[in-house]
Structure 1
Amino acid sequence: MSEMREPAAGSAETPLPGGNVGGARRVGDTVRRPTGPWTPAVHALLNHLRRAGLDSIPTVLGIDEQGREILTFLPGRSIGADTDHVSDALLTNGVRWLRRFHDAVRSFRPAGEVRWRHGTRALADGEIVCHNDPGAYNWIVDGDDLVGVIDWDMAGPGLPVDDLAFMAWKSLPLHRELPPDVVAARLGLMADAYGDIAPAAILAHVERRIGRAVDSIEAGQRRGDPGLLNLARIGEPARTRTELAALRERLPAITAAL
């Protein structure tokens, strides 16, 4: 892991809002978060992205005396989990950032098997390291501009469309019941902002991606992962299973609107 650092003398710790996995605290201009066996891989990822010139990500500063990772604090407004229907302009900017991230991460190819939060494996052909949790609740914004993306501990191997489908689920948001024409328009907006993908392709991947997320959360809870156990307190992943079933019922109308 990175070098050990201690808080500056007299620095107060302030719990940061948002995030259901929990544990982030602000100390001065830094953020301290719990670590795990996946942390070295996440830090290697963030360091690569920083060298590649990706904007709006935290810088890894080290590990503190309590074993927590130290990241730079990204100033701006965080979006609460209950405010997931972001404006068209902000959704567009979020997807454009996602494309920049995917372009920057393609050259990050760790050798062999790597330990990530949801398991140990190597990258398969066609895969990249995805953020895996790019919902608006992990965005830092200034008006309709995205100025930061946080909570990288769920990162791991996947397909680019996995991140797009997750963003559509949480930030379009497909997990809420919206008029089919609104959903179709926002899927079109996402596809145009990302490029090289059709709105129907994003929609078609959502059930697979979110179903896998549910399975991963359940597996992590069985392993005793404290952060994923926190999700049980808000009814996850049972709540998502219910929302996914409701989306299946709406799919014919959304498809027709596309």
Structure 2
Amino acid sequence: MHQQEILLTGGKTNLGRIVRVGDTVRRPLNINSTFVHKFLQYLENINFDASPRFLGIDEQKREIISYIEGDVPLNLGYYSDEQLIVAAKLIRCFHDATQRCSLANSKEIICHNDLSPCNFVFIDDMPTSIIDFDMAAPGTRIFDLAYAAWLWLDIGNEEISAEDQKRRLVVFTKAYGTSEINLLIEAMTKRQTILIEEGHRRQKPCMVKWAKSALQWTKSEFSHLISTANSQSTIHHS
């Protein structure tokens, strides 16, 4: 007897194609699936408990991932300082867990590459787990963290003042363990530029418009944002 498939909301790439079956999630395979499966197995082997487990491939050639109970945001939003701190600390734990992974080859860590709040599971309004590792690949902490900061703070949202964003960025980066805001902002603008190019390539005008707006805001407020940085700061490795 087949268990009922429940369509899961959220996500963009696999919209309408991810379902819950019992205590598992079934997702389409993609060109990065083999790497992702090995990476999830690595995280399981080192007892990193804030990610799903890879359980195999089903008869429909879909990957089987463990389902994590909780709430997943559908959109970006304004997160409290406490939520930002918890998220940044979780990202730091994730990065630290990947720095010795052989899959990273010569790179610093394995990046998630889409650390949006929409790829976190929340329990009691706090982020507790990271999901959707489709874009995972070797990379650097600052590049992954910059994208996370952009989306967790919703950089470019005109309803949030530059002064508040400057303060919140310090909260976020301090919780992670760095105050290299100048390097982070540089990486953020690169990531915004990449997303603009991706939007053009995929013919997604809404993506282009959003990323362009964020890039313009980031550049216009660049001096204010980097003024919070300590010129002697570094990411403190554990």
In the alignment, the residues of structure 1 paired with residue 77 and residue 70 of structure 2 have an alpha-carbon distance, to the nearest angstrom, of: 17
Corresponding residue of 1:101: 94
The CA deviation at 1:129 is 1.5
Identity of aligned residues (%): 30
Structure 2, unaligned stretches of length 5 or more? Answer: 230-238
Within the alignment, does 1:87 sit opposite 2:80 as a pair? Answer: yes
Q: Do the aligned partners of 1:187 and 1:202 also contact (CA within 8 Å) in 2?
A: no
Paired residues for 1:26-105 under 5 Å: 26-81=20-75, 83-105=76-98
Change (3 A) 1:89 1:108: same
The CA deviation at 1:217 is 5.6
Change (3 A) 1:35 1:94: same
In the alignment, the residues of structure 1 paired with residue 148 and residue 123 of structure 2 have an alpha-carbon distance, to the nearest angstrom, of: 19
Q: 1:200 aligns with which of 182, 193, 202?
A: 182
In the alignment, the residues of structure 2 paired with residue 139 and residue 86 of structure 1 have an alpha-carbon distance, to the nearest angstrom, of: 13
Structure 2 SS opposite 1:48: helix
In the alignment, the residues of structure 2 paired with residue 203 and residue 246 of structure 1 have an alpha-carbon distance, to the nearest angstrom, of: 11
In the alignment, the residues of structure 1 paired with residue 93 and residue 227 of structure 2 have an alpha-carbon distance, to the nearest angstrom, of: 31
In the alignment, the residues of structure 2 paired with residue 196 and residue 166 of structure 1 have an alpha-carbon distance, to the nearest angstrom, of: 15
Matched letter for residue 12 of structure 2: N
The CA deviation at 1:256 is 4.8
The CA deviation at 1:135 is 0.7
TM-score (norm 1): 0.80
Q: Do the aligned partners of 2:116 and 2:151 also contact (CA within 8 Å) in 1?
A: yes
In the alignment, the residues of structure 2 paired with residue 242 and residue 181 of structure 1 have an alpha-carbon distance, to the nearest angstrom, of: 18
Corresponding residue of 1:15: 7
Within the alignment, does 1:240 sit opposite 2:217 as a pair? Answer: no
What's the C-alpha RMSD, in Å, of the aligned pairs? 2.1
Corresponding residue of 2:168: 186
Q: 1:140 aligns with which of 121, 139, 148?
A: 121
Matched letter for residue 5 of structure 2: E
In the alignment, the residues of structure 1 paired with residue 138 and residue 107 of structure 2 have an alpha-carbon distance, to the nearest angstrom, of: 10
The CA deviation at 1:132 is 0.2
Change (3 A) 1:188 1:257: closer
Matched letter for residue 161 of structure 2: P
Structure 1 SS opposite 2:65: strand
Structure 1, unaligned stretches of length 5 or more? Answer: 1-8, 111-121, 222-228
Q: 1:212 aligns with which of 169, 191, 194?
A: 194
Change (3 A) 1:144 1:129: same
Structure 2 SS opposite 1:235: helix
The CA deviation at 1:213 is 3.7
Change (3 A) 1:251 1:129: same
Corresponding residue of 2:232: none
Matched letter for residue 70 of structure 2: G
Q: Do the aligned partners of 1:87 and 1:144 also contact (CA within 8 Å) in 2?
A: no
The CA deviation at 1:245 is 2.1
TM-score (norm 2): 0.86
Change (3 A) 1:50 1:217: farther
- Cα deviation 1:79-109 (Å, max 9, x = unaligned): 121x422221111111111111111111112
User: Relative to structure 2, which stretch is displaced further, 239-248 or 61-70?
Assistant: 239-248
Matched letter for residue 195 of structure 1: G
Structure 2 SS opposite 1:191: helix
In the alignment, the residues of structure 2 paired with residue 50 and residue 216 of structure 1 have an alpha-carbon distance, to the nearest angstrom, of: 32
Matched letter for residue 45 of structure 1: F
